[in-house]
Structure 1
Amino acid sequence: MPSYTAPVKDMQFLLHDVLKVSTRDIPGYSDLDDGFTVAILEESGKIASEVLAPLNPVGDQQGCRLENGVVYTPDGFKAAFDQVREGGWTGLDCDPEYGGQGMPYVLATAVGEMFTGANMAFTMYQGLTHGAYSAIHAHGTDAQKAKWLPKMVSCDWTGTMNLTEPHCGTDLGLMRTKAEPQGDGTYKITGQKIFISAGEHDMSENIVHLVLAKIPGGPEGIKGVSLFIVPKFLVDDDGNIGARNGVAVGNIEEKMGIHGNATCVMNYDGAEGYLLGEEHKGMRAMFTMMNEARLGVGMQGLAVAEAAYQNAVDYAKDRLQGRAITGAENPDGPADPLIVHPDIRRSLMDQKSFAEGGRAFTLWGATMIDEAVRKDDHAAEGMISLLTPVLKGFLTDEGFDMTVLAQQVYGGHGYIEEHGMSQFARDARIAMIYEGANGVQALDLVGRKLAADGGKPAMAFFEMVKSFCKENGGDEEIATGFIEPLKTASKHLQDAAMFFMQNGMKNPNHALAGSYDFMHLFGHVCLGLMWSKMAIAAKAKLAEGTGDAEFYQSKIATGRYYMARRLPATSMHLARITSGADTVMALDAANF
C-alpha cells in the first residue's frame, strides 16, 4: 500500500525563506512566524499521513454506492470527515464571524496540498464546500450569510457547485434549468445537472447546492443565467432543518478515478431556491467559486504528483535491478537498486523538480489571493487572474505526466493495483478535465487574460521577471545556472505574446492554435522564476551556516536540473506557436 509523508520542511522553506510571509505587508501575515506555521503543518501532516492516506486505496477500491436515494461513502470516510471537522480544519481560512479561524489563504493552501496528496477524493468534499462558502460570503445578503455559512464553515453542511447539464458544459449559455419566481422571494428550480462532485453523500446533515439556472423572460444565452442556493433539506429562519427539498440524486457516475468522491446526476423538480447575487448575473457569482476551484485543481495536480513521487523514490531505492554502468554499487547484493541508473534518475528528477517548483508556484499564487482579498489590491487581483489558467492547466497536465513517470519506475508493478500507482495516475488524469478542460484554460489565457485590463497584468509579469533578473544577476553562480536561462525563457514568452498581437487580429486562429503551447510556455517560465527564487534563498541559508546544509544543497541542485533540462521546453513551445494555424487548420473536417 502506498504511503504519504507531508512535505513540512519544504513548505516551511517556501513560506519563510522564499516568500517571507511573516514580513509581508498583508493583514494576518505577521502572525505567520515559523513556530506557528510548523505547528499547524505538522499537525495537519499527521492527519494526512495517518488518517487520510490509509483511506485512499479504500476509497478507490470501494467507491461510493447509491441505495434508495442515499449515497454511502467508502468505509472510514465518515469517521475521518468527523475528525477533520472537529479539528477545525474545514474553516482554517474562513471568516471568524461565521466560525472560521481567519487564517491566511496561503496557510490553508499548504494544508490543502497535504490532505489532497494523502486522499484527493476525500478532500474534495470539504474543498467544494469551501468554494460554495466563498461564493455566498462574497455575494450573499447578510441574512443569507448568517443562515448558511456557520454550518458550512464547520462542514456540518457541505456545499456543491452545479453548472454542467447533459447538453452543455463549457457553453453554459445553452443550459435549460429553469428558475420560476414564486412572488415571495423564492424560486422553483427545475432541471438536471451532471458531473456534480459530492452531490449526495452520508457525511453531513445537509448539502447546500449552488445551482445555475435561467429565470424565464431573461436575456438569451449566458447573460440570462442566475445563481441560486438550493439546499437538500429546507432550513427555517432559526437554522433548523425541515422537510426534504425537491432535489434528488439520479445516479452516481462510474469514473476512471476519484472513486471515493460521489460524482452525481442531480435532478431538480420544483426545488425551492434562493437567488444569490443579482438576477442574470449568476456567472459573476459563480466565478468566485470557479476561480477558487481552478486554483484548487491545479494544486491537486501538484499534490498527487508529490505523493506518486514519494512512493517511486522509495521503490527505486529498494528494488534491485541490474548493475550500475560504472561498476557495482551494491557489491554484496545480487544487483544494484534502480536509483543508480541514469534514466531512473532523470525520471525522478523530472518529478522532484516539478513537485517542488509547482509547490512554490501554488503558494506564491495563494499569497496573491491574500493580497487581493485582504488588501483589496487590484494589481494582485489582476496578476492572479492572469495566472489562474496557468496554475490549473499547466500544473494538472504536468502533474499527470509525473504520476505516469512515477508509475513507470515500478515497471510491471506499476500497473498492479496493490502498489497504488495506477490510482495516482487515474486520479490525476481527471484534474486535467474538470473545472474547465485544459484546452479551455489555454483559450481563456490567450483569448481573455492576456488582454485583460489593457494588458497591464501581463506587462506587469514581464516587468517583474525582468527586474528580478536584473537585481540578481551579479552572483555568477546564480546568473549562470538560473538567471540567464530564465531570461531566455522569458524572452520566448514575450515573443509568443508579440506573435499573437501581430497575427491574432488578422487571423484569430493563429492565436488560438498556439494557446495550449503558450499556457505551457508560461508555466515553465513561472517555475523557472520559482526555482531561481528558491536557489537564491537556499544559497543565502548556506552562507548563514545554519539549518540543514544538505537540504539547501539539494534544493540548488534540483533547481539547476530544472533550468537545464526542463526550462528549454520554452523554445519548442515558441516554435510551435510561431508556426501559426495553417498546418493546424489545413484539413477539411471530412478528412479527419
Structure 2
Amino acid sequence: MTQYKAPLRDMRFLMNEVLDYPAHYASLPNGKDADPEMVDAILDGAAQLCEDVLAPLNHSGDIEGCHFDNGAVTTPKGFKEAYRQFVEGGWQGLSFPTEFGGQGLPMSLNLFKSEMMGTANWSFAMYPGLSVGCINTLMQYGSKKQKAQYIPKLVSGEWAGTMCLTEPQCGTDLAQVKTRAVPQKGGSYKITGTKIFISAGEHDLTENIVHIVLARLPDAPEGTRGISLFVVPKFKVKADGTLGERNAVNCGSIEHKMGIRASSTAVLNFDEAEGFMVFEPNRGLEAMFTFMNTARLGTAVQGVCHAEAAFQGALPYAKDRRSMRALSGKKDPESKADALIWHPDVRRMLLTQKAIAEGGRAMIYDALKIGDHMFNASAAGDAEGYKAFDSKLGFYTPILKGFLTEMGLEAANLGVQVFGGHGYIKEHGMEQIVRDARISTLYEGTTGIQALDLLGRKVLMGSKGKCVRDFTLEMVRFARPHLLRRTPLGAMARNLAARAAEWNLLTTAIMLRAPKDREVVGAASVDYLMYSGFVMMGYYWAGQAAKAEELLASGQGKESEDFYRSKVQTAEFYFERLMPRANAHRTGALAPTRSVMQLDNEHFAFA
C-alpha cells in the first residue's frame, strides 16, 4: 500500500523561488498575515493532517464505500472523526473573510491545502471542497440575510454545501433543466424536481447541508436565459440561526461508482422544498458560474493529485522490485536481477509522472496568483479589476481543467504499468488511483466541453485570439535572454520562441476557417486544447529550469544541488519526450473537418 508524503520541498520551491509568493502576498490587502513563517506553519500543519489522518483512510474508505439506508447516508469508518479534526483545526475557513469567522488569508493558501488533501484522500477532500464553491457563490451573489444565515456555519465547517445542476435528462446542456420554482408569500419558493450526480449531496459529517440549486420560474423563458438560482437547506434555518424542521429535500439513492467510492454521489428529490432566490430572476447560470469555475480549478488540482499519488506509489516499487538485467550490464550485482528503475522504459514512465505532477503544479500555482487578485477585486467592489482578472483566469481554466485531468489520468495508468500485474490488484492501491482519476475528465464539463470553452468562447469569440497573443508574449519575453545559451535552458528557450509563433499561427488558421466551416471549432477543439496544454506546461517547466540553473550557479548544499539538478533534467525530459506530442495535436487541429463529419450516421454500425 502506498504511503503519502506531502511534496513540501517542491511546493516551497515553486512558491518561494520560482513564483515569489512572499512578494505576491505582501501586495495583497488580505496578505499581510501570510508571511513566510505563517505560510510554512500552515503547510506543515496541513501536511500532518493529510499524512497522519486522511491518507490512512483512503484505501479503507474505498473498500467500504458509503452506506445508504432509507434516505440516510453513512460515510466510511473514520471519516466522521477525521472531519471533526478538520473542523477543529479551522481548515475550512482558511481563506474566507474574518467577518464570517474565517482567517482572512489569500484564496491560494486554501488550494495548496486542498492539493495535499486531494492527493492523500480525494474522496474525503470532496466533502469540504464542494462547500467552497457554495460559500463563494453566496459571498458574491447572496443577499445580506443569506450571507449572515449560511456563510458563518459553512466557513466553520459545521455545515456543508453542494451544487445541484444535473438532472436525469441533462448534464452539460442546462437549457434542458426542468426543476421548477414557484413563488410563495414572504419571498420563498417551492422547489420541485430531481437532481442527479450531486457530490456530497447527503452524508453524516455535518448537521446541515446547504444546496445551491438551478430551477425555473413558472414564467421563465426557454433555454439557459430562463434559469434562476436558489439556496435550499436540508434543514430549514430559523431567524435566530438555529435549525428548524427538515426541508422537503430527500436522498433517493447514491450512485455505485467506478471510483471515489467514499464520496457520496446522491440523487436528490426536491418535493416543494422551501428555497430562496440567489441573485436575480433568470440570471442563475451567471451566478452559478462562480461555483462552476471554483470547481473547475479544484478539478484541475485533481489531475496533479493523481499524478503525484501515482508517482509516489510507483517510484519506491521501481527501486525495490527486481526483474531482468539492465541492457548496459549488471547494476545490482549482489542480486539476481536489477531493480526496475534501471530499465529505460520504466524510467520513461516515472519521469512522465514526475513531469506531469510538477509541471501541472507550477501551472496551477501561477494561475492561483491571478485568482487571489480576482477575489480581492470582488471583495473590494472593483468591478473593472474583477473583470480583467476573471478574463485572464478564464483563459487558464479550461486548459488547466481539461489538459491536467487528461494527463493526470495518464500518470495514474502509468503507475499501474510500473507495477505490472501487481498494479492491477487492490492491495497496492494503484488501481484505485486510476478509478478515482477517471471521473476528473468528466465532471465540471468533459474535456470536449472545456475544449469548446477554450477555443470557441475564450479564444475566438471572447478575445479574437488576444488571450493567446498575451500569453505567448510572456513566453517570448522569458525566452529572449536565454536564446543564445548553449545549455539545456537555451534549447528550451528556442523551442518556446518557436512554439509562441506556432500557437498564434494555429489560432489564426482556425479563426480564418471558422466562418466558412461551422463545424471546425468542434472538430479541432480537443486537439487545440491539448496542444495549448503541452506548450503551456513547457513554459512552466522552462521557468523551473531557469531558476534551478540560477541557484545551482550560486552554490548550494548537496541536497539542494540534487533537487535543482533533477529539475533541469526533468525539464529536459519534458521538452525532448513530451513536448513533441504538441506536433501531433497541431496536425489534428488543422485536419479537414470532413474526416470527422463525412461518415453518414446510418453507416456507424457494429458489423
Q: Does 1:521 align with 2:531?
A: yes
Report what 2:14 is aligned to: 14
Distance 1:550 1:289 in 2: 41
Distance 2:365 2:219 in 1: 44
Report what 1:311 is aligned to: 313
Distance 1:474 1:5 in 2: 39
Return the match for 1:534 from 539, 544, 556.
544
Distance 1:558 1:152 in 2: 41
Report what 1:129 is aligned to: 131
CA apart distance, 1:475: 3.9
Distance 1:287 1:75 in 2: 34
Contact 1:213/1:226 (8 A) holds in 2: yes
Q: Does 1:446 align with 2:458?
A: no
Distance 2:40 2:552 in 1: 21
Report what 1:570 is aligned to: 582
SS in 2 for 1:81: helix
Contact 1:12/1:34 (8 A) holds in 2: no
CA apart distance, 1:489: 2.6
Distance 1:426 1:135 in 2: 30
CA apart distance, 1:58: 1.2
1:202-351 aligned within 5 A: 202-351=204-353
CA apart distance, 1:493: 1.9
CA apart distance, 1:29: 4.1
1:407-426 aligned within 5 A: 407-426=416-435
Deviation by residue 1:143-172 (Cα, 9 ceiling, x = unmatched): 110110000011100000000000011111
Q: Which amino acid aligns with 1:7?
A: P
| 5+ long unaligned stretches in structure 2 | 378-384
Distance 1:384 1:508 in 2: 27
Contact 1:228/1:275 (8 A) holds in 2: yes
Distance 2:548 2:568 in 1: 7
Report what 2:355 is aligned to: 353
CA apart distance, 1:453: 4.3
Report what 1:5 is aligned to: 5
Distance 1:18 1:31 in 2: 21
Report what 2:381 is aligned to: none
Q: Which amino acid aligns with 2:14?
A: L
Contact 2:476/2:496 (8 A) holds in 1: no
Return the match for 1:383 from 389, 392, 417.
392
Distance 2:518 2:20 in 1: 42
Distance 1:159 1:285 in 2: 16
CA apart distance, 1:588: 0.6
Report what 1:465 is aligned to: 475
Q: Which amino acid aligns with 2:599?
A: L
Distance 1:67 1:360 in 2: 43
CA apart distance, 1:37: 2.0
CA apart distance, 1:479: 4.6
Return the match for 1:504 from 506, 514, 518.
514
CA apart distance, 1:381: 2.0
Most deviating of 118-127 and 473-482? 473-482
Distance 1:27 1:392 in 2: 28
Report what 2:380 is aligned to: none
Count of aligned positions: 592
Q: Which amino acid aligns with 1:365?
A: A
Contact 2:468/2:504 (8 A) holds in 1: no
Report what 2:555 is aligned to: 545
Contact 2:469/2:504 (8 A) holds in 1: no
CA apart distance, 1:309: 0.7
Distance 2:449 2:269 in 1: 27
Report what 1:484 is aligned to: 494
Q: Which amino acid aligns with 2:167?
A: E
Relative to structure 1, is the Cα distance of residues 252 and 302 closer, same or farther in structure 2, using a 3 angstrom cutoff? Answer: same
Q: Does 1:396 align with 2:405?
A: yes
Relative to structure 1, is the Cα distance of residues 454 and 495 closer, same or farther in structure 2, using a 3 angstrom cutoff? Answer: closer
Q: Does 1:561 align with 2:573?
A: yes
Q: Which amino acid aligns with 1:187?
A: Y
Distance 2:28 2:100 in 1: 22
Distance 2:592 2:505 in 1: 13
SS in 1 for 2:597: coil
Report what 2:203 is aligned to: 201
Distance 1:218 1:396 in 2: 36
Contact 2:255/2:264 (8 A) holds in 1: yes
Deviation by residue 1:344-395 (Cα, 9 ceiling, x = unmatched): 0000011101110000001111111112222435433211101111110000
Distance 1:479 1:558 in 2: 12
Q: Which amino acid aligns with 2:493?
A: I
Most deviating of 310-319 and 506-515? 506-515
CA apart distance, 1:291: 0.4
Q: Which amino acid aligns with 2:534?
A: H
Distance 1:492 1:338 in 2: 39
Distance 2:139 2:556 in 1: 44
Report what 1:185 is aligned to: 187
Cα RMSD, aligned residues only: 1.3
Q: Which amino acid aligns with 1:509?
A: E
Report what 1:71 is aligned to: 73
CA apart distance, 1:455: 4.2
Distance 1:180 1:36 in 2: 49
Q: Which amino acid aligns with 1:507?
A: D
Distance 2:536 2:104 in 1: 29
Distance 1:228 1:576 in 2: 42
Q: Which amino acid aligns with 1:392?
A: K
Most deviating of 472-481 and 459-468? 472-481
Distance 1:472 1:23 in 2: 25
CA apart distance, 1:474: 5.1
SS in 2 for 1:91: coil
Q: Does 1:432 align with 2:441?
A: yes
Question: What is the aligned-residue identity percentage?
Answer: 45
Relative to structure 1, is the Cα distance of residues 317 and 478 closer, same or farther in structure 2, using a 3 angstrom cutoff? Answer: closer
SS in 2 for 1:90: coil
Distance 2:8 2:44 in 1: 7
Most deviating of 294-303 and 32-41? 32-41
Q: Which amino acid aligns with 1:21?
A: Y
Q: Which amino acid aligns with 1:342?
A: P
Q: Which amino acid aligns with 1:567?
A: M
Deviation by residue 1:414-448 (Cα, 9 ceiling, x = unmatched): 11101101100000001111111111111111110
Distance 2:189 2:277 in 1: 8
Contact 1:41/1:111 (8 A) holds in 2: yes
Return the match for 2:368 from 366, 369, 372.
366
Distance 1:340 1:505 in 2: 53
Contact 1:304/1:403 (8 A) holds in 2: yes
CA apart distance, 1:499: 1.5
Most deviating of 511-520 and 461-470? 461-470
Distance 2:147 2:321 in 1: 55
Q: Which amino acid aligns with 2:391?
A: G
| 5+ long unaligned stretches in structure 1 | none
- TM-score w.r.t. the length of structure 2 is 0.96
Report what 1:587 is aligned to: 599
Distance 2:187 2:225 in 1: 21
SS in 2 for 1:434: coil
